[in-house]
Amino acid sequence: MAFQAQEEIGEQIEEGEDIQEQDVSISPAEELPNGPVEEDSDPVLLPWDRFSAWLHCICVVGFDLELGQAVEVIYPHHSKLTEKEKTSICYLSFPDSNSGCLGDTQFCFRFRQASGRKSSLACFLDHFDRDAPVCLKRDQGHYYGYVYFRQVRDKSLKRGYFQKSLVLISKLPYVTFFHSLLKLVAPEYFEKLEPCLEAACNDIDRWSTPYPGKILTLPIMGVVMKVRIPTCYDKPGTSQLVQSAQNDSLVSIVLPTIHEVDLFRCFCPYSFIFRCCGSWCC
């Protein structure tokens, strides 16, 4: 049984592509550039406000030969998704290029947010976009889905395979960061199930908010990630994380970047050549 996505479901930006292993090794960096003044601390926030600054929710999508695809779990439980949004997540969480290969696959997609929905934290979250690069601003009309899909043989199932996706739903286009986060959370989830999600969400709700220019240490599942949210003042292509032997003694992972390379900017100077090549081929 194949899972087909309807056209109205949304725009999928990456689907069914294996994510190459990201380099999460500690990388030396230069001095921080002049930019916005970092705030000393976050404002007083309510429970789950910090979580909402990073994620809308975490979903578990199951794929069954008889029942079809369905969102089995949404966490935190108070998170809301419309039926149309759930349908989008279900269809887009299954890799189109799946060819029966066993193991784990990571990819991401984008889908449209239901019209008329507004977050109570909208004004608060917009504050963080002020100094962010254009490519890293929150998408007001769409959600991003970051998927960790697992397929293993299971003779007890009619299909013969266990197929399930753990999906992080967020407004943030931090592709590298969320794929690195999934590599930590998803294997634990498939072993320990829902209690693992509760623990992960509680960890995320203690994180500092993603303010551009701040260096953040983010504990998750017994591991500490160190990241820096870029600003629009940063020099492109440079890592601004400064390694400190004393301060980094408890840091397990340092991510030099939270996002993928901006390919459009890289190839923009050659767009005329590409158009000429296309016309010659025709």
Indicate the average pLDDT of the chain.
77
Q: Over range 227-247, report the average pLDDT.
A: 67
Nearest to 165 by CA among 236, 226, 109, 204: 109
Are the beta carbons of 144 and 109 closer than 8 angstroms? yes
pLDDT at 29 over 90: no
pLDDT at 30 over 60: no
Q: What is the pLDDT of residues 51-101, one digit of tens each?
A: 999 999 999 999 987 788 999 999 999 999 999 999 999 999 998 765 667
Above pLDDT 70, what percent of the chain?
Answer: 64
Backbone conformation region of residue 125, classed left if phi is above 0, alpha if psi is from -120 to 50, else beta: alpha
What's the pLDDT score for residue 125?
66
Are the beta carbons of 59 and 87 closer than 8 angstroms? no
Domain range summary for the chain, segments of one domain joined by +: 22-281
What's the pLDDT score for residue 37?
45
CA 189 vs CA 2, 77, 102, 275, 281: distances in Å? 25, 16, 18, 47, 49
Q: What is the pLDDT of residues 183-234, one digit of tens each?
A: 999 999 999 888 999 999 999 999 999 988 888 999 999 999 999 888 887 7
pTM of the full predicted structure?
Answer: 0.74
Nearest to 144 by CA among 15, 277, 3: 15
Which CATH entry fits the domain spanning 22-281: 3.40.640.10, 3.30.420.40, 3.30.450.200, 3.30.1490.20?
Answer: 3.30.450.200
What's the pLDDT score for residue 138?
86
pLDDT at 12 over 60: no
Above pLDDT 90, what percent of the chain?
Answer: 39
